[in-house]
Amino acid sequence: DSAVQAVVLGMLVAAAARSTAAVADNGEMASSGTPKVAFTIGHLPKAGPYVAALRLVGLDVEVFTPHNPPAALDGYAGLVLGGGGDVDPKYYGEVPAGTRNPNPKRDEMELELFRLARERDLAVLGICRGLQLMNVACGGTLHQDIGTTHSDVHHAVNVPPGSKLHGIVGNESFEIVSRHHQAIKNAAPGLSVTASAPDGIVEAIEDAARRFVIGVQWHPEDSVDSREDQALFRSFARAAGVAGD
């Protein structure tokens, strides 16, 4: 029930926060007066590192799963789409060909939330599956299975100048944590590819027409001691209303 979920989440967040304490000396912690963002995930036990990373940059976070979807985004300053299982290929006009264990309830929840967030020009950050969901929602397609070359590895990403992401990270190349077996095939109309891996896999997209709509294929919550990933979370927090440094 909800009480058990709250206890589990509290334990997970506390553990994740301890592991990231080295970057918590900025004093920015979530409180009742801070902007609140909605975070979506498939399974509650996976939420801890994401929630800890968002709280470190001064955000209040409410976690939603397919079992407790929000009715709307009223009162939220932003939306974070977390990682997890595969998006059902029916949403981009394909039949399953390598897709694993899609969750229609999660797909439907996040597609609607992303639509609402863009409509209201809320700050949106998509992480791993979140990037893929954003691309599909805007009319793009996915490679349903790229094998194991991006499964639990560290590799460099190339971020050419000229994008919002490049302006945030201030670097054309840095190391990231990669953990996925699907990837963007065709970027959706209106979304720009702003980062790529050495093998050409799309690593980031953004909607330049919105204040902050960015998706990254990697897992910044797993490396919050990285200057670039700290900058990404801080920029999202500022877009959601947290005062700048």
Catalytic residues: 128, 219, 221
Given the structure tokens 């990669």, which residue do they identify?
178
Angstrom distance (rounded) from CA 211 to CA 213: 7
Q: Which of 134, 8, 12, 142 is nearest to 67 (CA)?
A: 8
Q: What single string gives the DSSP state of each residue in 21-55?
A: GGG-TT-----TTS-EEEEE-SSGGG-HHHHHHHH
CA distances from 36 to 60, 138, 237, 238 (A): 4, 25, 10, 12
